[in-house]
Structures are given as structure tokens and as C-alpha cells.
Amino acid sequence: MSLFGVGAGEAALVLVLAMIVVGPQRFPEIARQGGRWYRLARQYTDEVMKDVRAAVQDIEDEIKEETKDFDAIEADLHEIRDDLEDVREEPTSHDTKSTDLEENLASSEETPADKTAETSIRPSRRTEDS
């Protein structure tokens, strides 16, 4: 465990040096004050980290919500693309059907009189021998 980049070994070294410099009579009082400052620093860092985590969570939630919207839009676009591909395929079979239909209509539009006229216009097959 470290606080502000100071490990347990480094903290012990600082405590020993403080005891030598300050002396055994004032050391307990200074240690209590150091403990208070340490607790305040930990509380402050814990509070800041809690706020940062909450902010990150809020951002992640917003991103997930926006991603859901994009997923729904993407699904709609895939559906539209599939529909367009189906429509592209249909005219080919539709054109064949319409061509057959047009041919049927053209042949049914001929009236018996038209057929009679065609046969009467044909030259007769008379032979010159007769």
C-alpha cells in the first residue's frame, strides 16, 4: 500500500528519522498529527476516486445508451437493405412476366377479320397449267 508514491519501507524510514530529530517526548504528538493528516489525505483521495468512478460510470452509461440507439438504427438499415435487394430481384421476374403478358395481349388483339384479311391478300396458288 502506498500513498503519494511512498511505500511502507519508506514511511518506516521517515518515522525513524523523525524520532531521532524530534526526540522521544514530542514524537507521539507528531505521530498523532501525522496520523490525522494521513486519514484526511486518504478520505480526500477516496472521495475524489469515488467521484471519478461515478463520472466514468455515467459516461459509460451514456455510451451504452447511444450504442443501443445506433444498434437499432443499424438493424433498420439492414432491413431496408434487404428490402431493396428483394425489390432489385423482383423486376427481373416481373419483366419476364410482363413480356409474356404483352405477347399474349398482342396475339389476342388480332381479330378474326384481321386474320381473314391476311388470308385474302395472299396470292392464290393457281398453277399456270390450269
Domain range annotation of the chain: 8-91
Q: Convert the pLDDT of each residue in 61-100 to its tens digit.
A: 998 888 888 888 888 888 899 888 888 877 555 455 556 6
Q: Is 18 exposed, middle or buried (0-12, 13-18, 19+ CB in 10 A)?
A: middle
Residue 40 has pLDDT above 90, yes or no: yes
Q: How far apart are CA 13 and CA 94, in angstroms?
A: 90
Residue 54: pLDDT band (50, 70, 90) is: very high
Of the candidates 35, 43, 1, 39, the one whose C-alpha atom is nearest the C-alpha of residue 18 is 35
- pLDDT of 130 reads 47
Question: Could you tell me the pTM of the whole model?
Answer: 0.41
Residue 56: pLDDT band (50, 70, 90) is: very high
Beta strands in 38-124 (DSSP E): none
- pLDDT of 124 reads 55
State phi, psi for 114 to the nearest 5 degrees: -65, -40
- pLDDT of 123 reads 55
| Between 35 and 98, the higher pLDDT residue | 35
Q: Find the mean pLDDT for residues 15-39.
A: 87
* Mean of the per-residue pLDDT values of the chain: 77
Q: What residues contact residue 88 under an 8 Å CB cut-off, 6+ apart?
A: none
